[in-house]
């Protein structure tokens, strides 16, 4: 486990990510989500799960999230938060079709389950304008040091300043508790499919500026 001093130094460097950061960010998210119950269900029985996750996260960073310029990381790329802008969370059909060959190359036999999961997530996604936290992850050895809060803070502060809600899906009780400390509340329990673990849709109404919590964790 890294020191609080080192984590504080990293937290002070949070800023918008560049495309050159994509491979390192994909690797961080893969390590953060390797044992996540939802991804274990989607990529069941695949001994290459880490490599699939690395490639999948990098693909979506490059082709979806970073195009909106609201992905944040630290100087050492130890934490990542990928946001989508209000009214930009739904991937247009044309873009989906362009992504399919690359997704097939990454996910292979898992692609039908991946597409089903995306459909379930989209089906009840709120239509009211909001910022959408697509993914946030902290490298496991850096967790518990406030870095999750640090990479979330720029957009949550903007939400509070602009009076804009935020939305996310939590995949574990631990992550749900973290988000609740940051002002999110559960709106619905759901699963991605038969045998899949429980997840939670969570909504955050704007807070008065300056009240963002500082606890760490990962979704």
Domain count, the chain: 1
Q: In the Cβ-directed half-sphere of 56, how many Cα atoms lie within 13 Å?
A: 24
Residue that has been written with the tokens 């619905």 in this structure: 188
* 178 pLDDT above the threshold of 50: yes
Q: What is the CATH number of the domain that holds 54?
A: 3.40.630.30
The model's confidence at residue 214, banded by pLDDT at 50, 70 and 90, is very low
Mean pLDDT of 159-186: 95
Average pLDDT, the chain: 92
pLDDT digits (tens, 9 = 90+) for 105-144: 999 999 999 999 999 999 999 999 999 999 999 999 999 9
Residues belonging to the chain:
219
Copy the structure tokens of residue 35: 């044992």
Residue 28 lies in a domain: yes
Whether 212 is in a domain gets the answer: no
Residue of 130, 135, 174, 177 lying closest to 156 (CA atoms): 130
- Is 131:86 a contact under the CB 8 Å cutoff? yes
Alpha helix segments (H runs only) across the chain? 4-11, 22-33, 37-42, 49-60, 93-107, 111-123, 147-162, 173-181
Range of the domain at 156: 4-204
């Amino acid at each position: 486990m890294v020191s609080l001093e080192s984590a504080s130094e990293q937290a002070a460097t949070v800023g918008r990510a560049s495309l050159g950061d994509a491979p390192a960010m994909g690797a961080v998210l893969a390590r953060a989500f390797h044992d996540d119950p939802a991804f274990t269900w989607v990529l069941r029985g695949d001994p290459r799960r880490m490599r699939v996750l690395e490639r999948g996260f990098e693909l979506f960073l490059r082709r979806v999230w970073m195009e909106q310029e609201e992905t944040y990381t630290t100087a050492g790329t130890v934490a990542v938060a990928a946001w989508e802008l209000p009214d930009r969370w739904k991937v247009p059909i044309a873009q989906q079709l362009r992504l399919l060959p690359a997704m097939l190359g990454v996910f292979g036999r898992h692609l039908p389950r991946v597409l089903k999961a995306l459909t379930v997530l989209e089906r009840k996604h709120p239509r009211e304008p909001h910022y959408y936290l697509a993914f946030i992850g902290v490298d496991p050895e850096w967790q518990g040091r406030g870095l999750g809060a640090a990479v979330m803070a720029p957009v949550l502060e903007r939400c509070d300043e602009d009076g804009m809600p935020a939305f996310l899906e939590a995949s574990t009780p631990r992550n749900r508790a973290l988000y609740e400390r940051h002002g999110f509340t559960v709106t619905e329990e759901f699963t991605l499919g038969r045998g899949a673990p429980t997840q939670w849709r969570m909504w955050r109404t704007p807070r008065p500026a300056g009240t963002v919590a500082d606890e760490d964790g990962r979704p």
